[in-house]
Amino acid sequence: MQITSKFTIAVHIVIAVDYFKDSQKVTSNFLAGSVGANPVIVRNVMGDLKNAGIISISQGKSGMALARVLEDITFYDVYRAVSCVSDEGLFHFHEKPNMDCPVGRNIHKVLDEELLGVQNAMEAQMKAVKLSDIVNKTRREIANEVNSQA
């Protein structure tokens, strides 16, 4: 199962908001061009980020800004903001295992705990990744790109 592209779009938005904050009014149309996605999709993700308190949006001159310090935003915060996983968990279990089959009767018992462990491990790793680190990596990549073109 894949986490939807809303997660990477949301991370892209946060990085772009930080990167362009001093040089460009960051709007949904501007971000849609950067992301390469439909502006409606970008606006929906922006709404999720705003509701989670990660960005602030103003209709005025400033456009969009981070509502929290980058060091305090993790992959997990973004993942939860854009609802990448339903309340039932990351792994969707098939609906009707055959209860007449010994495997079907026991598959939930043997997999549920393991799959929850996998999800918990992934989420723990996501909590360790700060957006400030991703922004710094992005800035280094941009600088390397500029230097190699010089």
Per-residue burial over 63-97, b = 16 or more CB atoms within 10 Å of its CB, e = otherwise = bbebeeebeebbbbbbbebbebbeeeebeeeeeee
Q: Output 4 or 5, whichever has higher pLDDT.
A: 5
Beta bridge partners of 57: 64
Tokens 């462990």 sit on residue: 117
Instruction: Give how far the C-alpha of residue 97 lies from the chain's centroid of Cα atoms, to the nearest Å.
Output: 32
Report d(CA 128, CA 110) in Å as an integer: 29
Tokens 């009767």 sit on residue: 105
Condensed to tens digits (0 to 9), the pLDDT of residues 58-91 reads 876 667 899 999 999 999 999 999 987 777 777 8
Domains for the chain: give ranges and CATH numbers. 6-149 (1.10.10.10)
Report d(CA 94, CA 8) in Å as an integer: 27
- Whether the per-residue pLDDT at 150 is higher than 80: the answer is no
**What per-residue confidence (pLDDT) applies to 93?**
77
Q: Give first-to-last CA distance, the chain, whole Å.
A: 42
Report d(CA 126, CA 110) in Å as an integer: 26
**What per-residue confidence (pLDDT) applies to 42?**
95
**What per-residue confidence (pLDDT) applies to 1?**
53
- Whether the per-residue pLDDT at 92 is higher than 80: the answer is no
- Whether the per-residue pLDDT at 130 is higher than 60: the answer is yes
**What per-residue confidence (pLDDT) applies to 48?**
96
How confident is residue 56, by pLDDT bands cut at 50, 70 and 90? very high
Tell me the whole-structure pTM to 2 decimals.
Answer: 0.85
Please answer whether residues 135 and 68 qualify as being in contact, where contact means their C-beta atoms are separated by less than 8 angstroms. no
Torsions phi, psi for 126 (to 5 deg):
-65, -35
Report d(CA 3, CA 62) in Å as an integer: 32
